[in-house]
Amino acid sequence: MASFTYAIPEQAPLIRAQATSSTLSTLPLHQRISMLPFSTTDSNASTSFSDFVWQNKSTSDFQELRRQALVYNHLCGAEIFEDKAKLALLLAESTVSENALESYVFPTVVSFSKWCKTTSDKWNNKLWVAKTPMGNSGSGVWMLSSHNCAKVTTEILNNMSKYSDSRHAVVVQEYVMNPMLWRGRKLQFRIYAVIKGDLSVWLYRHGMLQFCNKEYKEYLNNDNDVNKVEDDEIHITNVCRNVHNSTLFVREKPVDLVSRYPQVYASISKSLCDLVRQSSSFLKHQRSQHHFEFIGCDYIVDNETGAAKLIECNCPPNNTGSDPIGTIEDFHSDLWEDIMQAFVITPIVTQKTCETRKERMKDVNNVKECECGMFENILSFEELKMEKLNKRKNGEVKNGDGEGEGGGEFVATREPSDLAMNRLAWLVWEKKAAKINLKKAMSM
């Protein structure tokens, strides 16, 4: 019987892993798999080996364990996705409409305030969303207009002192003025994807629809009303920011994106592929091709163009929903099982990479089960590598060009010095990008 050891310190994913383990142990004998929990009380815990390590955040504990693990749920350097300031800089030069929302990063609240004072007379009725880089669960987000700059600046200062945001930076992102609506309310798509160590991208075909509490058309009819601009229940779709209002709150809804919103699914695929292309230089070195980053991305769809606009990423997203029973819990349970089957059990037990759904389904008669579940491989390592080679042939990218170096050139390593190259490449580029970004903001 195949078996492997897992180490998961967080409660919610640990409960899901235990449920998966129970299911696998009751399969027919030839399919049975034993998942054994790693015990931190073992005398040799510091030198023990665990096949699979999951942490919501990489911390100093479990450090040696995850270095040796065949599968770990984080990539070296992937913090550039979740940090809103880093994500804004990363996508500043994107030419893909899905990732090209006008955004600025201010290193301090003072520079943000100065920008507001010097440019707000040019905004007219344009709206922005101001954010702190590491805010989550709906915290650290403000609607920003030319009428409330001073008020928002004060609130950001108070928020930073309360939550001790280490960056003390402010991110400003263009607001999507004509969003897709659901029964008159602003609608957000929460989608789930996996980026593997070899930089291949896997998109889950099912997602969540999340809604504002109040109708958006109320705002459209009063777009000069400051109270409407600052009403979070009209503009902010985050579940944590809306659940307090039991009268108006509508729970998130699972949806098959491919069948229900095929254009949105195609747009999101385009966005995620571009995201990895933009970041590939800073993810080049990884410990294993089987390490992965599980990402929850939030999209607002522009109703005029049909483009899904990337708002932010969560790494990993919350794997529990707004309802502990019923369809929402069933969704998250199925999502976890598909992640385990495709990206954990397959490489550990079978010692192979999960094959893509498209490749496996070519000859339907020979396919009994696809390891990928509902995941589609939308960008492969081979595609990235070929794109890089073609660019070099055409003279678009040269060896040693810095920003463009490394796309699709996955390097498997266990050496900390090599892994540090991901962060070094980012720091060198970030300094230059931040200066350009700030200069563009002040001259708008």
pLDDT tens-place string over residues 364-373: 344 345 678 8
21, 83: one domain: no
* Residue 325: predicted pLDDT: 77
| Average pLDDT value for residue range 225-254 | 89
* Residue 364: predicted pLDDT: 39
Place 159 in a pLDDT band, splitting at 50, 70 and 90.
Answer: confident
196, 324: one domain: yes
58, 182: one domain: no
* Residue 63: predicted pLDDT: 87
Q: Bigger pLDDT: 349 or 223?
A: 349
Position 419 in a domain: no
Domain range spanning residue 371? Answer: 79-100+178-381
Q: Is the pLDDT of residue 104 over 90?
A: yes
Locate 99 and state its tokens. 């990732």
Position 304 in a domain: yes
Q: Is the pLDDT of residue 262 over 50?
A: yes
| Average pLDDT value for residue range 301-306 | 95
Q: How many domains does the chain have?
A: 2
Q: Which pTM does this prediction carry?
A: 0.91
59, 92: one domain: no
84, 32: one domain: no
Q: What is the CATH number of the domain that holds 306?
A: 3.30.470.20
- Mind listing the pLDDT tens digit for each residue in 366-394? 434 567 889 999 998 888 888 878 877 78
Contact 190, 208 (CB under 8 A): yes
15, 94: one domain: no
375, 292: one domain: yes
Q: Give strand pairing partners of 419.
A: none
Position 85 in a domain: yes
| Average pLDDT value for residue range 202-211 | 96
Position 40 in a domain: yes
Of residues 196, 315, 187, 201, the one with CA closest to residue 261: 187
112-125: b or e for each residue (b if 16 or more CB lie within 10 Å)?
A: bbebbeebbeebee
Position 190 in a domain: yes
Position 368 in a domain: yes
Looking at 381, 398, 416, which one is the last position of a domain? 381
- Mind listing the pLDDT tens digit for each residue in 8-64? 999 999 999 999 999 999 999 888 999 999 976 654 544 578 999 999 998 888 888
* Range name among 34-43, 70-79, 170-179, 207-216 with the lowest pLDDT average: 34-43
Contact 190, 317 (CB under 8 A): yes
Looking at 24, 50, 69, which one is the last position of a domain? 69
Give the start-end residues of each E strand in 145-277. 170-174, 181-182, 185-196, 201-204, 206-215, 253-256
* Residue 322: predicted pLDDT: 74
Distance of CA 387 to the CA centre of its chain: 23
Contact 80, 86 (CB under 8 A): yes
Position 408 in a domain: no
Whole-angstrom CA distances from 69 to 37, 222, 224 are 14, 55, 55
6, 85: one domain: no
12, 40: one domain: yes
Q: What is the mean pLDDT of the chain?
A: 87
* Residue 363: predicted pLDDT: 43
22, 89: one domain: no
Position 284 in a domain: yes
